[in-house]
Structure 1
Amino acid sequence: MARVLRWVLLVAASVAVTVPLTLAGVPSAGLFAALAVGVVLALTALAPAGVPRPAGVVAQGVLGVYIGTMVQHDAFGALGSDWPFVVAIAVATLLLSVFAGALLGLHRDVTPLTGSLALTAGGASGLVAIARDLGGDDRVVSVVQYLRVALVTASMPLVVSFVYHPDTSHPASGVTPSAPAPWYLSVGMLVVLVVVGAAGGRLLRLPGAGLLGPMALTVVLQLTGLSFGLSVPAVLVQVSYFVIGWQAGLAFTAASLRAIARILPAALALIVVLGVSTAGLGVVLAHYTALTPLEGYLATSPGGVYAVLATAVETGSNVTFIIAAQVLRVLLMLFASPLLARAVVWAGRRFSGHKPAMTPASSAPIRVAD
């Protein structure tokens, strides 16, 4: 009975915190709320023992399909002949992220892999979901990733207003979504994509197969026009956010919280450096394409996709190009960062010896399937 009451308290508190965060426009509010509530209940000994492994795998798959539906059938066509520059900028952003993560990994409380995942500039919720699968500490990854998203989102209006001085008298039209499929068709496709994607990803030894397998299949369906208007029901997205947030939050201890507090100054400094660096990449992108400096900044922003879209519409910018560039960045980060993060770990072990994980809880990664 006590176990049931703990779960009821966890769910009720998470929902209660999610509602105001959603109204305030916080990105992935459910994940952030579940993380915060999980931390509080774990530190007060009122939390359940942990999230069952199958629930974590299913949540990853649902989130993978949800991210995959961001890709529109003709989205990348909007890049036109400028696509090589956009790809080059995205790769440069990835390398900057991994380098910043390697610097964070020099801290005694962070492994190189955890540092790389924590500072990867894109796909915050997805990286939190697969951090433990890859052997990283999802507590550190979740805190630093959401610090990055919060700083980028909060600073964007100030940067746009004081640096670019945009003309907001002629707003652009937003991206017109395609007609969604009936809910029963979407749910049926979702189940198939999660099961087949996770199983296929595991057979192919894909890092983070629970998330990346279903996401890869969904992207293929979107690009080939065979998704039939697939959309993930909002309630399933929220439940997945909750599960992923709880998975990280319930693992917190007083010791791990103190360790994370010690790394926050370094993480904050590296996030600022990463933001300034990507803004510089935006200047380069604008120079070699037909984009304005503002559009270059928005296309290369290291996070805050929803804030980017709103700003692009409000300022009359090239919305289709900017969103295509942002989606490409997120997909590249999610697919490539696990491989590069592992390369960082290999290099660290080879040249400086293996450093143990921050806490014992992060040294036993959850497998994609038992």
Structure 2
Amino acid sequence: MRWLIVAPVSVGLGLLFSYWHVPAAWILAAILSSGAMALSTGRELPVNPGVFRFGRGIIGMLAALPLVGVPLGVLGGYLLPGLFVAVVTLAIGVGGGLLLAAKERAVSPETGILSMLAGGASIMPVLAKELGADYRFVALGQYLRLLAVSVSLPLVTTFFSTPAEHTAPDEPPVVWFMVVAIVLIAYFGDAVGRLIRLPVPSVLGPLAITVAVALLLPEDLSLLPPELFRILAFLTIGWMCGGTLSFPALRAFARQLPATVTFIVVVIGACALTAVPLTWWLDITYFEAYLATSPGALETVLALSSEGGAGPVVVAVQMIRLMAVLAIAGWLPQVIRLLTRGR
């Protein structure tokens, strides 16, 4: 019965936020609507397991598609700069997460790190749920960073000179049999991931299958999920996070707000400084380097990159860092044991 209220309210808020160009509009709409229902009734609002399985599969596919769009030769050429950016960003995220966990006993190392890893904001709550972390805290922290980066990017980059004007290419049409393939990959990718023993198979399973299949497809076919599927996936992530909100959870997040905001400022500043040596290393404009090192908000980064005529360095470096972030997040328990060994 509660879903008869939450679902249409989520859609209405999502449309409104999209019209206002609010970052992560559909995720935020779902968090607000399901969170309001959970808080007002005092009971959690669980998401249907089948719907959630499909939604997180779509999230995995969306994370894979930018990797397919960059030729391996291009990725290889930017491997060292990309790893440099990844190491800086990951060091800040992992270090900040461990400091937060040490400061606040209610926050586990997994929760602290996943809430502060830059990149893949829509994936982190799913990974948090799989790894037993507090995905509510992770979602709120990730959204706050995403909001700060998304709002600041268009404002800051207006002061930089751009390489050229460029028009983004049209998306290829999605045909019916590709829609069937997308549904199968999203829903059954989890099972395949478990079969081949991938870490966090619910996300990395669909991701790996999407990369493998997309590399074999002709150029006129695409595994890009239809808009309706993407909206449902984002709503699912928001419902998962908002539906389990409680007043104690919100109070716990509020206590950590100063530390979270400080981290966001530090990571944005560090990435901006990291962009400086990239301009010399790769002989690119600071506009391109700044976008390449931006800590998240990939959709905004790609839109500004296309509009400003940036070269492939932006996508390549972002994708190399995304792969590093996913690798760290997927093996997070082992990473934490390694870092805390001997303490």
Superposed pair shares fold, TM > 0.5: yes
Residue 180 of structure 1 contacts residue 230 of structure 1 at CA under 8 Å; is this kept in 2? no
* TM-score when normalising by structure 1: 0.84
SS at match of 2:331: helix
Residue 117 of structure 1 contacts residue 338 of structure 1 at CA under 8 Å; is this kept in 2? no
User: Where does residue 66 of structure 2 map in the other structure?
Assistant: 70
| Percent of aligned pairs with the same amino acid | 32
User: Where does residue 254 of structure 2 map in the other structure?
Assistant: 261
Tell me the amino acid that sits aligned with residue 126 of structure 1: I
User: What pairs with 1:178-327 in structure 2 (closer than 5 Å)?
Assistant: 179-182=172-175, 184-225=176-217, 228-318=221-311, 320-327=312-319
Residue 73 of structure 1: how far off its partner (Å): 4.2
Cα separation, partners in 2 of 1:245 and 1:189, compared to 1, 3 Å = same
User: Where does residue 368 of structure 1 map in the other structure?
Assistant: none
Residue 117 of structure 1: how far off its partner (Å): 0.6
Residue 328 of structure 2 contacts residue 335 of structure 2 at CA under 8 Å; is this kept in 1? no
Aligned partner of 1:109 among 103, 106, 111: 106
Residue 123 of structure 1: how far off its partner (Å): 0.6
Cα deviations across residues 38-97 of structure 1 (Å, max 9, x unaligned)? 111111007664113333222111221122223344445445633322233223322322
Tell me the amino acid that sits aligned with residue 255 of structure 1: P
Aligned partner of 1:82 among 75, 78, 82: 78
Residue 292 of structure 1: how far off its partner (Å): 1.7
Tell me the amino acid that sits aligned with residue 184 of structure 2: V
Cα deviations across residues 236-255 of structure 1 (Å, max 9, x unaligned)? 11112112211111111111
SS at match of 2:83: helix
Once residues 295 and 146 of structure 1 are traced to their aligned partners in structure 2, the CA distance between those partners, rounded to angstroms, is 24
User: Where does residue 125 of structure 2 map in the other structure?
Assistant: 128
* TM-score when normalising by structure 2: 0.90
SS at match of 1:133: helix
User: Where does residue 7 of structure 2 map in the other structure?
Assistant: 11
SS at match of 1:44: helix
Once residues 151 and 281 of structure 2 are traced to their aligned partners in structure 1, the CA distance between those partners, rounded to angstroms, is 28
Once residues 287 and 39 of structure 1 are traced to their aligned partners in structure 2, the CA distance between those partners, rounded to angstroms, is 47
SS at match of 1:132: helix
Tell me the amino acid that sits aligned with residue 160 of structure 2: P
Residue 114 of structure 1 contacts residue 131 of structure 1 at CA under 8 Å; is this kept in 2? yes
Residue 111 of structure 1 contacts residue 136 of structure 1 at CA under 8 Å; is this kept in 2? yes
Once residues 193 and 128 of structure 1 are traced to their aligned partners in structure 2, the CA distance between those partners, rounded to angstroms, is 20
Report whether the alignment pairs 1:139 with 2:136: yes
Q: What's the RMSD between the two structures over aligned residues?
A: 2.4
Cα deviations across residues 9-28 of structure 1 (Å, max 9, x unaligned)? 01011111111111122333
Once residues 23 and 330 of structure 1 are traced to their aligned partners in structure 2, the CA distance between those partners, rounded to angstroms, is 28
Once residues 47 and 286 of structure 1 are traced to their aligned partners in structure 2, the CA distance between those partners, rounded to angstroms, is 52
Cα separation, partners in 2 of 1:78 and 1:180, compared to 1, 3 Å = farther
Which region of structure 1 is more displaced relative to structure 2, 43-52 or 17-26?
Answer: 43-52
Tell me the amino acid that sits aligned with residue 16 of structure 1: G
Residue 207 of structure 1: how far off its partner (Å): 2.6
Once residues 197 and 251 of structure 1 are traced to their aligned partners in structure 2, the CA distance between those partners, rounded to angstroms, is 26
Which region of structure 1 is more displaced relative to structure 2, 22-31 or 249-258?
Answer: 22-31
Tell me the amino acid that sits aligned with residue 128 of structure 1: P
Cα deviations across residues 136-155 of structure 1 (Å, max 9, x unaligned)? 11100100001011111112
Tell me the amino acid that sits aligned with residue 58 of structure 1: F
Tell me the amino acid that sits aligned with residue 305 of structure 1: L
SS at match of 1:124: coil
Once residues 187 and 81 of structure 1 are traced to their aligned partners in structure 2, the CA distance between those partners, rounded to angstroms, is 34
Report whether the alignment pairs 1:172 with 2:165: yes
SS at match of 1:105: helix
Gaps of 5+ in 1: 353-370
Residue 286 of structure 1: how far off its partner (Å): 1.9
Tell me the amino acid that sits aligned with residue 83 of structure 1: L
Aligned partner of 1:343 among 332, 335, 340: 335
Residue 98 of structure 1 contacts residue 341 of structure 1 at CA under 8 Å; is this kept in 2? no
Tell me the amino acid that sits aligned with residue 28 of structure 2: F
